[in-house]
Structure 1
């Protein structure tokens, strides 16, 4: 009978060690997911604040600036960029922001187009669709500034930065304040930001 008890104890210790390891892994995953989600949420809070403030330093051609609202179109999963969605109905320079998710066929007529990370493959078609429409294009992937996006967010040393492609802005008929250009680091496709 004693041997059965010893066998049970040995099994219990092994079982306990395995269960403890599984619980530790689950707790680590449970803690890391919210931390990762918090980091993404924080990143988009900064990007939303920057986007809102960019609009104070951008001038559209008179024909585009006459509208009562600024149509902000987001291409990609808007639930990931909740902070951007929360800009809906805010006001900038007397104009109401209307934030909406858009597909490729919906991008014409957008005043601002924010191309979320993961949707970069759509960039050539998007740029073609908004050509001549004075759309402020904003991206968030390395290299998009060189590929024609007007303002591109970058993460540099865990901080949100941005670059401005002045030539793309000129081609779109959009004037960007020299103050904003300086924040980006100069005149041209340069990095800058918070």
Structure 2
């Protein structure tokens, strides 16, 4: 329990350090890893495969996590520009410039336990499990689509869900 509380505190501190003027992809990357840490999938081999869909500087930041262990799973990071290249990913991070492809990603991953995280605000309302939002005070937060996560059999800890800006 103490470890969970400490992790939540670190998570909130990271949120406060994000600034809207310059996108801090290191913070976005830490959010993605922490979302993975506090989520579980119905079936998962020894890997936690994260695919960045489109071009985003978060790819370079996530590469720093390549090979590290998250909940007993080795992180594997890749980049894709078409839905066929998503493969067997557990997490698909949709770059801002590829937000228009969300419908194609949702169709390609339909019925699969794939957590979709949108860089663009509001994508959680369109089917992404999570999407980021920069608040008026320049803090980075996230929104959750619990309905979509339930359909995909992805469980999110209550402590993570409690940190959401909005949830549906």
Deviations 1:166-194 (A, max 9, x none): 001001110111111101157x33xxxxx
What is the aligned-residue RMSD (CA, Å)?
Answer: 1.9
Between Structure 1 and Structure 2, the one with more helix by share is: 1
Measure how far apart 1:84 and its partner are: 2.0
Separation in 1, partners of 2:75, 2:149 = 20
1:155 matched to 2:134: yes
Measure how far apart 1:83 and its partner are: 1.1
Separation in 1, partners of 2:47, 2:113 = 15
**Counterparts of residues 1-194 of structure 1 (less than 5 Å):** 39-40=22-23, 43-61=24-42, 64-65=43-44, 67-79=45-57, 81-102=59-80, 103-157=82-136, 158-185=138-165, 188-189=167-168
CA contact (8 A) 2:89 2:114 kept: yes
Separation in 2, partners of 1:80, 1:53 = 14
Gaps of at least 5 residues in structure 1 are 1-37, 190-194
The structure, 1 or 2, with the larger RCO (C-alpha pairs under 8 Å, 6+ apart) is 2
Number of aligned residue pairs: give it.
147
The TM-score normalised by the length of structure 1 is 0.71
Measure how far apart 1:55 and its partner are: 1.2
Measure how far apart 1:78 and its partner are: 4.4
Measure how far apart 1:85 and its partner are: 2.4
Deviations 1:78-105 (A, max 9, x none): 4464212222111101110000002311
Separation in 1, partners of 2:91, 2:131 = 13
The TM-score normalised by the length of structure 2 is 0.81
Separation in 1, partners of 2:149, 2:66 = 24
Separation in 2, partners of 1:133, 1:106 = 15
User: Larger radius of gyration, structure 1 or 2?
Assistant: 1
Instruction: Tell me what 1:19 maps to.
Output: none
